[in-house]
Structure 1
Amino acid sequence: MLPNRSRLSVLVFLLPPLLLYCVAVLFPIVQSMFLSFFSWNGISDMEFVGLANYVRMLTADDIFWRSFFNALGYLAICLVLQLGGALLVASLLTSMRRGRELIKTLYLLPAVISTVAIAFLFVRIYSIEPVGLLNQLLHWIGLGALERPWLSDINTVLTAVSAPEGWRFTGLYMLIIYAALLSVPQELEEAARLDGASRWQLFTKIRFPHIMPVWITTTIMATTYGLRGFDIPYLMTNGGPGQSSELLTTYMYKTAFSSTDFGYASTIAVFIVVECLVAVGLILFLLKRKADA
């Protein structure tokens, strides 16, 4: 439908980022798929093992499965904090008369702060000795019995390392959803109010269906980022105590650079890619099915 000159212009502008994407994303994926069929320590000659790495991963590696279920828990907590928090704050912003810019700036700040700084900040917040902010607050409000070493307790460590990741990106998704809410036609909302619609009905019947395409995109972004989460959990606990906060990404990293088993680490990397693709497919299927219902 575009004239030849326009098609050429589009091609010229798309080619550089497409080449960069192929070099930075597609090539490493293909290389990981290739290495997953070999046993290699990074120095000696590669030994072809076929599907042995995949069989080992799926049938004989308890740490892999522990990491997989930890990753699902980590993802669930991140999605609740990021998408739930973003939708709540964005909805509140649309009804605010003053202070919108300040609130948006405060919520967006964590997204531009170094992950190292965020990790060390939350390590201090969770600290038991010296007493961190969280335990101090529990003491002040009379809940001192709940004080604990949050990063050393196997029952709380996964939630503790998930919260900083959720807090970090809430502002980014809030901004996206807020922009989508501003695009909702005001005449539709006014007509619904005249018909006696409550605020809940206004949101569920008009606002949310209107922003559904943006919600799907945001959910995909949050899900893929959550499944690939690495830096904050690694910096805070390094997967410990035991494997209580071990994720597939941290396990893959340690397998490659601590155990120098690059073939098996590549197998885990391929699984993470497949996991992300399956998650995106499920999200598209479920949300589009709900939107069409």
Structure 2
Amino acid sequence: MLPNRSKTSVLVFLLPPLLLYGIAVLFPIVQSLFLSFFSWDGITDLRFVGFDNYARMFVGDDVFWTAFSNSLGYLVICLVLQLGGALVVASLLISLRRGRELVKTLYLLPAVISTVAIAFLFQRIYSLEPTGLLNQLLQWVGLGELQQAWLSNVDTVLAAVSIPEGWRFTGLYMLIIYAALLAVPQELEEAARLDGANWWQVFTKIRFPYIRPVWITTTIIAATYALRGFDIPYLLTNGGPGQASELLTTYMYKTAFTHTDYGYASTISVFIVVECLIAVGLIILLLRRKADA
């Protein structure tokens, strides 16, 4: 549909970002795939081992499976907090008459704060000695017996490292969903209300189907980012205590830079890429199937 000159202009402008994407993203993925078939400590010569790293990962490494299950738990908590919280806040903003800009700004602030600052903030919140905000709140409401070191308890640490990540990006996804809700035709909602539809029916039959494409995209972004989550869990616990908060990303990092086993770390990184691709496929399949139903 574009004239030849326009097509050429588009290609000229697309070429630099495509080259940058290939160098910064595609090349490291290909390099990791190549290294996954070798044993390498970063200094000596590469030693070809074929599929031994993959066999070790799937059959002989219990820590890998622990990290994998932790990553799935981390993913679920982040999605519930980010997408659920974003949808609730965006829906409330639609009905808010004053102070919208202030609320949007306050919810977006965590997304622009330094990751290190967020990690230190939640270290103080979860602290037992000195008493952090969470334990103080429990004391104030008469639940002092529930006070504990949240980052040192194997039963609570995974949720404790997931909550900061979920809180951090809720505002960003809220803005995306809020913009999508603003585009819903008001005539459809008014007609539905005139026909006797309640707020839940308006939301499920009109609003959500209308924003479904945006919801799918937002879910994909949130899921892939959560599966690649690294910085906050690493800063808060470094995967501990034990492997209670070990994620695939933190395990890959320590395998590469602590144990200098770059071949096996590359194998884990390939698995993370495949995991993200499978997650994207499942999200698209499930959400589109629900739409068709």
Q: 1-side partners of 2:41 and 2:238: how far apart?
A: 22
Measured after TM superposition, the shift of residue 276 of structure 1 is 0.1
Distance apart, 1:111 and its partner CA: 0.3
Question: Which residue in 1 is equivalent to 2:225?
Answer: 225
Q: Give TM-score scaled by structure 2 length.
A: 1.00
Is 1:65 the counterpart of 2:62 in the alignment?
no
Aligned to 2:107: 107
CA shift digits 1:131-170 (9 cap, x unpaired)? 0000000000000011000000000000000000000000
Q: Distance in 2 between matches of 1:218 and 1:10?
A: 27
* 1:196 partner SS: coil
Q: Secondary structure at the match of 1:211?
A: helix
Cα RMSD of the aligned pairs, angstroms, is: 0.4
CA apart distance, 1:6: 1.0
Distance 1:80 1:96 in 2: 23
2:247 paired with 1:247: yes
Partner of 1:142: 142
Aligned pairs, number: 293
Equivalent AA in structure 2 for residue 279 of structure 1: A
Secondary structure (helix, strand or coil) at the match of 2:214 reads helix
**Matched residues in 1 for 2:13 and 2:83: separation?**
33
Same amino acid, percent of matched pairs: 80
Report which stretch shifted further, 283-292 or 170-179: 283-292
Cα displacement (A) at 1:292: 1.2
2:278: which partner in 1?
A: 278
What are the superposed Cα offsets for residues 11-57 of structure 1, whole Å, 9 maximum, x if unpaired? 11111111110000000000000000000000000100000000000
Residue 2 of structure 1 and its aligned partner are, at CA, apart by 1.3
When normalised by structure 1's length, the TM-score is 1.00
1:9 & 1:203 partners in 2: Cα distance? 43
Structure 1 stretches (4+) deviating beyond 3 angstroms? none
Matches within 5 A, 1:86-165: 86-165=86-165
What is the distance in 2 between the residues matched to 1:112 and 1:73? 25
Gaps of 5+ in 1: none
2:264 match: secondary structure = helix
Give the deviation of 1:277 after TM superposition.
0.2
2:289 match: 289
Q: 2:193 corresponds to which residue? A: 193
Distance in 2 between residues matched to 1:8 and 1:69, nearest whole Å? 48
Which residue identity lines up with residue 214 of structure 1 in the other structure?
V
